[in-house]
Structures are given as C-alpha cells and as structure tokens.
Amino acid sequence: MDSRELKDLILEELGNIAPEIESDEVPDDEDLREALELDSMDFLNLVIAVSKRTRVAIPEADYPQVLTLNGMVSYVLNLIL
C-alpha cells in the first residue's frame, strides 16, 4: 500500500463516518476534528476503522500523531512498511 492508496482508504472511512464531508474538503495538515467539526466519537470511529482496515493498532497515546490526514498516513505507513 502506498501513501495515495492509504489516503484514499482514510477518506473513504471518513466518508462512512461523516457522509456530509466531501473528500476534497479534507485538509492535509489541519486537525481533522477542528477542520471538519468531528466530535470525539467520530474521530475515535475513524481511528478504529483505519486500524481495522490496515491492521495497524493506533494506541490512544499516539492519537496526537494522527490528528491530521498527513499525520495519519505517515503514522500508518511507518508501521506497515
């Protein structure tokens, strides 16, 4: 899986959680919770969905590293490569 495929996977899961969000509206380097007005449950559901799809555990202590789209891509890629 490359970064583009992973980004698409994350955007797909984000669309499942918050269907009103268009993928082209998702900023690369802003806190997803603030930029997209995600509540804590939506963010948690996104992390869980990405973890399940990629088989990469993201512990709560590492959530600050995955708050942005690019951060989540980098975090997961570092663990699967």
pLDDT at 10: 98
Could you tell me which residues come within 8 angstroms of residue 75 by beta carbon, excluding any fewer than 6 positions away?
56, 58, 62, 65, 66
CATH assignment at residue 76? 1.10.1200.10
Q: Specify the number of domains making up the chain.
A: 1
Domain extent, residue 74, equals 3-80
Residues 69/10, Cβ–Cβ less than 8 Å: yes
Q: What is the pTM of this model?
A: 0.94
Please say if the pLDDT value at position 52 is more than 80: yes
Please say if the pLDDT value at position 81 is more than 90: no
Confidence of residue 41 (pLDDT cuts 50, 70, 90): very high
pLDDT at 67: 98
Average pLDDT of 6-24?
A: 96
Distance (Å, rounded) from C-alpha 22 to C-alpha 19? Answer: 8
